[in-house]
Structure 1
Amino acid sequence: MSSTSALPALSLHGIDKSFGAVRALEGIDLEVRRGEVVALVGDNAAGKSTLAKVIAGVLTPDAGIIESDGVPVTIPSPAAAHALGIATVFQDLALCDNLDVVSNLYLGRELHKGPRLDEAAMEENARRILRDLTSRIPSVRTLVSDLSGGQRQSVAIARTLLGDPRIVVLDEPTASLSVSQTAEVLTHIERLRDLGHAVILISHNMTDVRAVADRIEVLRHGRNNGSFSGPGTSYEEIIAAITGAMTTPRRSARLA
């Protein structure tokens, strides 16, 4: 596991979010540091996706404080999140099947050399980013429709890295993947940490979470219900916090 900096890349304190009479988030606290993978786990309707959308600027919290590198900020839009160095990969991936890998990475932000597209520079950058992720994609000119589920995740993650984000949020990145494809994506997550990014991993899969997370934060009914060290916590202890069989006070499980 990589060492992490003392100052969180992103901190959320007392975050509330309601939809009418339904309180989706209530007093949520969350921190993540550079070079750290924090897993956000919980049952359905625990508030994980709502919290991810708050971080991504898709939803605005009703109350609470958000800090970026210790400085209070607001995230009123996805563009504001991007400006703060926050990149999010949602479950739908938002890839264009009829375009190749390079075109998907640069869709809407193509590089130009004079009046023409700088195809050589885009290809070179695409290869470098995929190489940094240790991706197994055979060619950056392969159509996305011809890629496996794990390779599609590679493209979605690589696209976020074009903006050199500080924080990468991954929403259920291994859902519906085979064992080998899951292993490929978990390798990408470890590489993101090794490259110095702060990673928030949202997942239902406790095996995946315990394999890569430095810290595990449990949500239950929109509230914090446990903070655990990833490598040193049993499966049973995490499940007990998720199901409510055990209410665990928040405790420090952060790496120095």
Structure 2
Amino acid sequence: MSAAPVLEAVDVSKSYGRVRAVTDVSFDVRPGEILGVVGDNGAGKSTLMSMVSGALAPDSGHLRVAGRDLTPHTIGAARAAGIEMIYQDLGLSDNLSIVENVFLGREWTGGVRGLPVLRKRAMRERTRAVLEELGIDLHDMNVLVEGLSGGQRQMVAIARALVTENEPRVMVMDEPTAALGTTESDGVNALIRRLRDRGYAVIVISHRIPEILSMADRLLVMKGGRNVYHGPTEGLDVERCVQLIVAGTLATAGEAVR
């Protein structure tokens, strides 16, 4: 790919006391690319992405967005730089509508005689426009989220990440299809591909190896807090990917790290 990386991690490390959760990890992701992140539980995936999202500050190393260091290491700074994180639990409120969830904590308001008033129609129209742009058909913007399926809830979370003050550059998703069946997983994966096709850099943490190999352009494999592979998915199959996750290396010499 010829495009310059939109996000770079350079020798990033994080410890909790004597436990090294992430050690000298470097990777990058480019616009219009899906980067899959895989590894066993405890491999350091979530800690690494928490640093990317600004929830954690690295002990050493650098995170750069469009060539500039991400500082300070806060969620607000990451969002201002164009990084949005969608966690596995989605963080949606069941008793609120689709629109209310999309704009939760960042509602649009106007003033009437000096009093703030919610711009409900504008928020509803913006939500509908974003969903339509992504090819998502949710007819009633006022329906409560508790009545939505797992796949629809994931789509609402993605829409919320896109309705930001700054156009996001990087979308990080933690196990977006973990709780979904095959049909809904296919719908969410199709949406992730559309995000890539629209020029977003998408990072997807996943335990579903066949699924991520079929979707991602490149793969980051973590083991014991280190990256043991960072390269194209082309040429990898499930067996070779599992070998990297378990053994940290491939059978052929010289293929362990890229």
Name the TM-score, length of structure 2 as normaliser: 0.92
Stretches of structure 2 that go unaligned for 5 or more consecutive residues are none
- Structure 1 residue runs of 5 or longer lacking an equivalent are 252-256
In 1: Cα distance, 2:133 partner to 2:233 partner: 24
2:77: which partner in 1?
Answer: 80
The answer (yes or no) to whether the contact 2:3–2:31 under 8 Å persists in 1 is no
Aligned length: 248
Cα distance in 1, alignment partners of residues 154 and 127 from structure 2: 14
Of 146-155 and 60-69, deviating more is: 60-69
Cα distance, 1:71 vs. partner?
2.1
Larger radius of gyration: 2
Match of 2:256 in 1: 249
Map 1:1-256 onto structure 2 (within 5 A). Answer: 5-115=2-112, 116-163=117-164, 164-244=167-247, 246-247=249-250, 248-251=255-258
SS in 2 for 1:114: strand
Equivalent residue letter for 1:199: V
In 1, distance between residues paired with 2:70 and 2:136? 34
Letter in 1 for 2:31: R
> Is the 2:228–2:248 contact (alpha carbons within 8 Å) kept by the matching residues of 1?
no
Look up the equivalent residue of 1:10 and give its one-letter code: L
Amino acid at match of 1:201: V
CA distance in 2, matches of 1:101, 1:72: 35
Measured in 1, the distance between the counterparts of 2:76 and 2:231 equals: 32
Percent pairwise identity: 42
C-alpha spacing 1:125/1:220, structure 2 compared with 1 (3 Å): same
Secondary structure of the equivalent of 2:106?
Answer: coil
Give 1:25 shift: 0.4
Task: Kindly state the Cα deviation for residue 65 of structure 1 after the two structures are TM-superposed.
Answer: 1.4
The amino acid across from 1:175 in the alignment is A
Asked if the contact 1:13/1:29 (under 8 Å) is kept, the reply is yes
Instruction: Report if the CA contact (8 A) 1:213-1:231 is conserved.
Output: no
Taking the aligned partners of 1:246 and 1:231, their CA distance within structure 2 comes to: 17
Partner SS state of residue 174, structure 1: coil
1:137 Cα deviation after fit: 2.5
Q: 2:245 is paired with a residue of what secondary structure?
A: helix
- 2: CA distance, partners of 1:162 / 1:101: 12
Q: After TM superposition, give the deviation of residue 32 of structure 1 in Å.
A: 0.5
* SS of structure 1 residue aligned to 2:27: strand
Provide the secondary structure at the position in 2 that maps to 1:110. coil
CA-CA distance at 1:60 after TM superposition: 0.8
Q: Cα distance, 1:5 vs. partner?
A: 5.0
Q: CA deviation at 1:94?
A: 0.8
Q: CA RMSD in A?
A: 1.4
* TM-score (norm: length of structure 1): 0.92
Distance 1:5 1:141, change over 3 A: farther
Instruction: Quote the offset at 1:231 in angstroms.
Output: 4.2
